[in-house]
Structure 1
Amino acid sequence: MNYKEEYERWNVFEGMDAGLKSELQAMNDKEKEDVFYTNLEFGTAGMRGVLGAGTNRLNIYTIRKANVGFAKYVLGLPEGKERGVAIGYDNRHMSYRFAIESAKVLATYGIKSYIFESLRPTPELSFAVRYLKCAGGIMITASHNPKEYNGYKVYDDTGCQLIPEWADQVVGYVNEVADELKIEVVSDDEAYPYMTWIGEEVDEAYYKEVMSIEVNPGMEKDDFKIVFSPQHGTSNIPVRTCLTRLGYNIVPVLAQCAPDPDFSNTASPNPEVPCSYDLAIKKAKEVDADVVVICDPDGDRLGVVAKHDGEYVLMSGNQSAAVYLEYILSQLKEQGKLPANAVMYNTIVTSDLGELVARSYGVDVEKTLTGFKFIGDKIRKYEATKEKQFIFGYEESYGCVVKDFVRDKDAVQAVLTAAEAGNYYKKQGKDLIDVLNELYQKHGTFKETQVALAKAGAAGATRIKEIMDNLRKDAPTVIGGVKVTKVEDYQSSTCSDGSTIDLPKSNVLKYYLEDGSWIAARPSGTEPKCKFYFSIKGVDANDAASKTEVFQKDMMKIIGE
């Protein structure tokens, strides 16, 4: 059916939710096309979209459809019904409703569910799956997206987001649903026997594990001041509880602590956006804090601002992770606790700096595709074989995990690591930026940036495809005046030097340049954007910055933007 026929199918449905019915009747033709031209699909982090009526929007009907697919997947697992599914949700509009709808669909198939009594961060959902020995998990969240969005992420029995092999099974079941409007769901009364509320017991078990990641637990902490913001999201209680119990001096940004689906007191809930730190930095200046830490709404990403020479300096996800690595590995080595078979994971669009830090300590490094599920899957495999021992995993997008009792990004762990590293280096007369600069002196100066081209709607999807197709048909041989020495195409699993890529296929292109820099292009799996990653190597910070500007301008010229 075309979008007009799909619209009519929804508009005439007698059981349509009243709020969605009003939206449908107020739509113009352009809006109808946008919300019905396609279906929401699973991307690198599950299903995420704008809230509202339509097959290309997130609503109770598209949520039910997704849950039918996941329920059939769970039924195919050993004792899937009895082991059940853990369900978490964040502060966004409709999150609680979608969590209950998910539990009701599962109950319709006779599957138990364990639902958090109130909002919790994504990493705690991952932990809960493992702690309760569930067959899987569901997290209702749109992570760092704007307030208009919500999302649906699914997890395996290790607490890891479904890898493509298993996500494809879910998608297959989802696609078998002929009409999402006619999915039969049990009543609340019929669902209750299958639903168990969870809370304090799981919280305390999670907090205990988080607090156990300290590398130097005996350090004095009173003179290290931390300003913290949960950005109106889920990390407020976990972060403040763990840091307070460990004795840290934590100053919350109270205006951003209350759960708020509209994110009323923040310019952006995304730690990748500099304006999201405005209120926290203002508070840091008032109290003379040593470091600022902010989490995204679902508590899986952490942004860090360090006080350096009297100024508050924002660190990128690549920079902060490199400093965490330096701290953790140097201390483990000094204590004689660094495993001989240690391995660190990051992604194909992550800076080279972290890899250089890890290898300087004899730690092996393995790359994965973008998406933390691939890191979680690596952990699972080596947990079984014992061939290597996990030591750290991270993405450039402000997400990392220190200990593997969680199999997703964990900002609560990251806050503790940032606090401990900052406190340790302060006692040596240094700050986090000083340590970063030392790493640059040792390993080379890198500047990592990202350009995200927003291309919404049907026309946007066509344009994103056109950009990637054109780059494949006419690959640049020179970018910014620097020769391209190698091209990797992760969709065809091939390299221009004749080698092959041993990773799942993904729509990513990566260009290696003669000066040690690289540039990558990939469509986002969760937003209507085409992303370009720049990892530029320079002789110093000024050189790297000026080269970055040249590379960005030339890359946009190459793709015709």
Structure 2
Amino acid sequence: MLVSYIIAARRSIGRLPENACAIRSVVSSPLFDTICRDNGVEPVCVLTGFKYIGEKIKEYAVDGSHTFIFGYEESQGFLSGGYVRDKDGVAAALLIAEAASHYKSFGKSLYEALYDIYDKYGWAKETILNIKIEGALPMQEMSAKMAALRASPFKTICGTDVVRIRDYAAGTVRDIKTGAVTSTGLPKSDMLFFELSDGSNVIIRPSGTEPKIKIYIQANGADSVEVDQKLDTLAAFKYFG
């Protein structure tokens, strides 16, 4: 909702750059990209962690290829403007208050404004599963589980075909049907991204700070009921034996 508001607000006062870009982490909602593209803003995807968003801001400030207007990651980190290179809760709170005031002038709440976005672009929701790793050597156990999954990746998840697998450790994107392999275009990271035929995504990576494997589930659909059903189904799947 914030990126939609920022784009509209900047455009209304003639301050939306022609080379505007907005940045999200790879595990954040792809609805962000849809909103950006529909409004002529370049969506940019980076690895998890605000340092990667900061690196892109610095890169664009040097080469002038894009003008950064907004960045976010799924763990409720937001940034507008390039003067801070990390998540900025104070500025985010002010932006939310500004957006609330704007929508109120049209007789709408933030909740209703969010529904307007869903009505226009389709429903999208996400959830996270945390698989706690027990034992004396959790890092080795997490590495072993990820290696086993790479050696024998899912072909289907809950009866839905996997159409592409992004292996960020190898830096590859493999199309299951054609076998074509392309580059992720991002630095290497221990993460697997499964794209499903119904538009859902399952992303699996070990936590960098805790003994657990994080599973991000993204789903979309025509309405809230359909999306919730997809999330519930994917969340119930047994990802590790």
TM-score w.r.t. the length of structure 1 is: 0.41
Partner of 1:492: 170
State the distance in 1 between where 2:113 and 2:132 align.
35
* 1:336 to partner: Cα distance: 1.5
Which structure shows the bigger proportion of residues in helix conformation? Answer: 1
Structure 1 residue 559 corresponds to structure 2 residue 240: yes
Match of 1:452 among 120, 130, 144: 130
Q: Deviations over 1:238-286 (max 9, x none)?
A: xxxxxxxxxxxxxxxxxxxxxxxxxxxxxxxxxxxxxxxxxxxxxxxxx
State the distance in 2 between where 1:442 and 1:465 align.
41
State the distance in 1 between where 2:215 and 2:108 align.
34
State the distance in 2 between where 1:433 and 1:353 align.
17
1:471 partner SS: helix
Partner of 1:29: none
2:183 partner SS: coil
State the distance in 2 between where 1:477 and 1:435 align.
38
Partner of 1:359: 37
Amino acid across the alignment from 1:559: F
Q: Deviations over 1:409-432 (max 9, x none)?
A: 110111101111112112211111
Match of 1:409 among 60, 71, 87: 87
State the distance in 2 between where 1:400 and 1:391 align.
11
- Identity among equivalent pairs (%): 39
Q: Which runs of 5+ in 2 are unaligned?
A: 176-180
State the distance in 1 between where 2:139 and 2:111 align.
40
For the 8 Å contact 1:349–1:520, the answer to whether it is kept is yes
Partner of 2:107: 429
Partner of 1:79: none
Structure 1 residue 470 corresponds to structure 2 residue 148: yes
State the distance in 2 between where 1:551 and 1:482 align.
10
Structure 1 residue 329 corresponds to structure 2 residue 12: no
* 1:503 to partner: Cα distance: 1.2
Partner of 2:219: 536
Partner of 1:527: 210
Partner of 1:383: 61
Q: Deviations over 1:394-414 (max 9, x none)?
A: 101100110111000110111
State the distance in 2 between where 1:455 and 1:418 align.
37
Q: Which runs of 5+ in 1 are unaligned?
A: 1-322
Match of 1:480 among 127, 135, 158: 158
Amino acid across the alignment from 2:30: D
TM-score w.r.t. the length of structure 2 is: 0.94
Amino acid across the alignment from 1:478: T
**1:254-403 matches, cutoff 5 A:** 323-403=1-81
Aligned residues: 236
For the 8 Å contact 1:393–1:402, the answer to whether it is kept is yes
Amino acid across the alignment from 2:168: Y
2:17 partner SS: coil
1:486 partner SS: strand
Amino acid across the alignment from 1:514: S
Partner of 1:508: 191
Amino acid across the alignment from 2:239: I
State the distance in 1 between where 2:32 and 2:109 align.
18
Q: Deviations over 1:499-523 (max 9, x none)?
A: 1122111000000011111110001
Amino acid across the alignment from 2:231: T
Computing the radius of gyration from Cα coordinates, the structure with the larger value is 1
State the distance in 1 between where 2:3 and 2:183 align.
29
Point out which structure has higher relative CO (alpha carbons under 8 A, 6+ apart): 2
1:558 partner SS: coil
Partner of 1:443: 121
Partner of 2:178: none
Q: Deviations over 1:9-66 (max 9, x none)?
A: xxxxxxxxxxxxxxxxxxxxxxxxxxxxxxxxxxxxxxxxxxxxxxxxxxxxxxxxxx
For the 8 Å contact 1:457–1:528, the answer to whether it is kept is no
TM-align CA RMSD: 1.2
Consecutive aligned runs of 4 or more in structure 1 exceeding 6 Å deviation: none
